[in-house]
């Protein structure tokens, strides 16, 4: 049965005659119009979501960005049972490269296993598909988003046998936390806590896990902050909505341990190594709100946010309200590492096989 499109879809289609390519041009126009009225961090947040790529890898086929669709009754859409990764591509001294590709694919496979999803590709095949997606999108720095999902129409929660699909998109990477990414973000301790791992396996990067982060992030944004800090179910500091958190006290670098039901960040792991190599004692432990509010320095870490200094937590100024010396040193080393300028960390980068010329995204 063919269903007539709703008026909005018809209007967008008629504003963009000429089939699929034109339809997406119409969508772009609508998005740009809506962005016109937004300012500051809100605008940044919308920019991230409005970003588009050229091609999406879907179960082995490279399709146009506008054609990367799934059925509205798919299981992941209704119940949040999908797992994904956020990966960055960087313009390095030797060309395009993916940061910590192997670790991201390993986490994707682990996340899928925790949700009873058997990905129909090997880890090597997934790595290859991610490299192909980067090459096909010709954009740097890029944000690459593989997602494992059940895309066929299927209602009923207990679907652990339906077809599992993999899609991989790549869009231009921007600054997740807006201007504060450089000068320091303002974050709010959220009234919404991280779910306990007894409720959800929090080590999985699963779609449904982001519901508490969504509520925390929107609450913080409505109160004028750039980001939220979520506590774990026992009231210890856990993480941001899309980042891990670090603090510096008396020359030592601290971050919440795995017992705080955090997502075990790949940037976090990289920072633990960098900080140790720079000679700072690094400690993973339970962190109280007291310790957070009295830290000398605080920063968030994540693939999209990279390293973002924090200058204020819930109206408490942190340090000198500017990126502190330890944060700056770790950040500078991290930047060199992702750009291939630190021989010690070169193994963290997987080169993208040379293809067509690379267009740089504007931040
Ligand atoms: C909830 C949450 N915590 C932490 C992180 C940081 O993880 P990574 O450094 O692997 O991107 C992310 C981002 O993926 C996240 O969404």
pLDDT average, residue stretch 347-352:
98
For residues 19 and 322, what is the distance between their CA atoms, to the nearest angstrom? 50
Kindly state if the Cβ of 88 falls inside 6 Å of ligand 1. no
Tens of pLDDT, residue by residue over 240-291, are: 999 999 999 999 999 999 999 999 999 999 999 999 999 999 999 999 999 9
* Residue 91 and residue 134 in one domain: yes
For residues 184 and 168, what is the distance between their CA atoms, to the nearest angstrom? 32
Q: Are strands 282-285 and 252-256 parallel, antiparallel or unpaired?
A: parallel
For residues 61 and 57, what is the distance between their CA atoms, to the nearest angstrom? 6
Task: Quote the number of domains for the chain.
Answer: 2
Specify if 2 maps to a domain.
no
Specify if 87 maps to a domain.
yes
Q: Which of 4-8, 156-160, 215-219, 330-334 has the lowest mean pLDDT?
A: 4-8
* Residue 207 and residue 142 in one domain: no
Q: Which of 37-41, 185-189, 300-304, 333-337 has the lowest mean pLDDT?
A: 37-41
Specify if 41 maps to a domain.
no
Specify if 270 maps to a domain.
yes
pLDDT at 355 (0 to 100):
56
Q: Which of 172-181, 235-244, 316-325, 338-347 has the lowest mean pLDDT?
A: 172-181
* Residue 240 and residue 108 in one domain: no
Most confidently predicted of 49-53, 180-184, 208-212: 208-212
Instruction: List the beta bridge partners of residue 170.
Output: 144
pLDDT average, residue stretch 223-250:
98
Specify if 283 maps to a domain.
yes
- Peptide bond between residue 141 and the one before it cis (omega within 30 degrees of 0): yes
Between 98 and 31, name the one with better pLDDT.
98
Domain CATH for 68: 3.30.470.10
For the entire predicted model, the pTM comes to 0.85
Kindly state if the Cβ of 239 falls inside 6 Å of ligand 1. yes
- Decide which of 172, 189, 213 is a domain's last residue: 172
Per-residue pLDDT at 362 exceeds 50: no
Q: Which of 176-180, 223-227, 293-297 has the lowest mean pLDDT?
A: 176-180
- Ligand 1 atom at minimal distance to the Cα of residue 241: 1
pLDDT at 38 (0 to 100):
31
Per-residue pLDDT at 5 exceeds 50: no
Distance 245 CA to ligand 1 centre (A): 10
* Residue 184 and residue 146 in one domain: no
For residues 229 and 131, what is the distance between their CA atoms, to the nearest angstrom? 33
* Residue 200 and residue 241 in one domain: yes
pLDDT average, residue stretch 19-48:
33
Distance 210 CA to ligand 1 centre (A): 11
Kindly state if the Cβ of 324 falls inside 6 Å of ligand 1. no
pLDDT average, residue stretch 98-125:
98
Distance 266 CA to ligand 1 centre (A): 7
For residues 266 and 140, what is the distance between their CA atoms, to the nearest angstrom? 20
What proportion of the chain, given as a percentage, has pLDDT over 70?
83
HSE-CB of 210 using CA atoms within 13 angstroms:
15
Name the active-site residue from 55, 174, 188, 205: 205
For residues 355 and 361, what is the distance between their CA atoms, to the nearest angstrom? 17
Domain CATH for 309: 3.20.10.10
- Quote the DSSP letter at residue 74: B
Pick the residue whose CA is nearest to atom 16 on ligand 1.
Answer: 242
- Decide which of 154, 172, 190 is a domain's last residue: 172
Most confidently predicted of 27-31, 37-41, 172-176, 256-260: 256-260
In order of 115, 127, 150, 340, the CA distances from 153 in angstroms are: 18, 28, 8, 44
Catalytic residue check, 205: yes
pLDDT at 23 (0 to 100):
30
* Residue 133 and residue 184 in one domain: no
Per the rule left: phi > 0, alpha: psi between -120 and 50, beta: everything else, 261 is left
For residues 259 and 287, what is the distance between their CA atoms, to the nearest angstrom? 11
Per-residue pLDDT at 31 exceeds 80: no
What proportion of the chain, given as a percentage, has pLDDT over 90?
79
Pick the residue whose CA is nearest to atom 13 on ligand 1.
Answer: 242
Cα angle, residue 38 at apex, residues 34 and 41 outer, rounded to 5°: 130
* Residue 191 and residue 329 in one domain: yes
* Residue 333 and residue 187 in one domain: yes
Across the chain, mean pLDDT equals 86
Specify if 77 maps to a domain.
yes
* Residue 196 and residue 307 in one domain: yes
Band (50; pLDDT cuts 50, 70, 90): low
* Residue 121 and residue 166 in one domain: yes
In order of 155, 266, 274, 283, the CA distances from 323 in angstroms are: 49, 22, 17, 20
pLDDT at 182 (0 to 100):
83
For residues 200 and 197, what is the distance between their CA atoms, to the nearest angstrom? 5
Per-residue pLDDT at 326 exceeds 80: yes
* Residue 167 and residue 63 in one domain: yes
For residues 256 and 207, what is the distance between their CA atoms, to the nearest angstrom? 22
Specify if 157 maps to a domain.
yes
pLDDT at 354 (0 to 100):
73
269 contacts: CB under 8 Å, gap ≥ 6: 103
| Residue whose C-alpha is closest to residue 312's, from 180, 177, 219 | 180
* Residue 65 and residue 189 in one domain: no
Kindly state if the Cβ of 195 falls inside 6 Å of ligand 1. no
Instruction: State the alpha helices, DSSP H only, in the chain.
Output: 7-15, 20-35, 40-50, 75-79, 101-114, 123-137, 180-183, 210-222, 266-277, 289-293, 325-338
Q: Yes or no: say if 348 and 277 are a contact pair by the CB < 8 Å rule.
A: no
Specify if 7 maps to a domain.
no
Question: The domain containing residue 142 runs over which residues?
Answer: 53-172
Per-residue pLDDT at 10 exceeds 60: no
First to last CA, the chain: 45
For residues 207 and 145, what is the distance between their CA atoms, to the nearest angstrom? 12
């Amino acid at each position: 049965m063919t269903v007539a499109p709703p008026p909005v879809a018809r209007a967008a289609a008629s504003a963009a005659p000429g089939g699929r390519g034109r339809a997406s041009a119409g969508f772009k126009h609508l998005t740009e119009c809506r962005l016109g009225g937004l300012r500051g961090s809100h605008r940044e947040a919308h920019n991230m979501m409005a970003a588009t790529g050229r091609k999406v890898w879907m179960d082995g086929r490279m399709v146009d960005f506008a054609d990367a669709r799934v059925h509205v009754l798919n299981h992941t859409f209704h119940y949040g049972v999908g797992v994904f990764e956020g990966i960055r591509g960087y313009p390095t001294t030797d060309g395009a490269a993916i940061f910590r590709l192997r670790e991201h694919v390993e986490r994707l496979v682990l996340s899928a296993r925790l949700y009873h999803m058997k990905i129909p590709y090997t880890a090597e095949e997934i790595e290859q598909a991610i490299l192909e997606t980067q090459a096909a999108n010709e954009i740097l720095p890029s944000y690459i988003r593989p997602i494992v999902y059940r895309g066929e129409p299927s209602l009923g929660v207990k679907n652990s046998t339906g077809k599992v699909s993999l899609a991989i998109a790549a869009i231009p990477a921007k600054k997740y936390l807006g201007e504060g990414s450089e000068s320091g973000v303002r974050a709010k301790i959220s009234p919404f806590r991280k779910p306990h791992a007894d409720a959800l396996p929090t080590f999985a990067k699963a779609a449904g896990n982001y519901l508490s982060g969504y509520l925390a992030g929107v609450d913080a944004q409505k109160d004028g902050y750039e980001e939220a800090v979520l506590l774990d179910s026992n009231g210890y500091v856990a993480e941001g909505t899309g980042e891990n958190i670090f603090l510096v006290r008396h020359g030592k670098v601290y971050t919440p341990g795995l017992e705080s039901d955090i997502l075990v960040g790949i940037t976090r792991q990289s920072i633990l190594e960098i900080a140790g190599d720079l000679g700072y004692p690094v400690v993973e432990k339970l962190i109280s709100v007291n310790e957070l509010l009295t830290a000398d320095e605080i920063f968030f870490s994540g693939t999209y946010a990279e390293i973002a200094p924090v200058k204020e937590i819930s109206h408490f100024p942190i340090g000198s309200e500017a990126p502190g010396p330890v944060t700056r040193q770790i950040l500078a080393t991290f930047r060199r590492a992702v750009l291939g300028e630190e021989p010690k960390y070169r193994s963290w980068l997987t080169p993208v096989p040379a293809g067509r010329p690379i267009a740089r995204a504007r931040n």
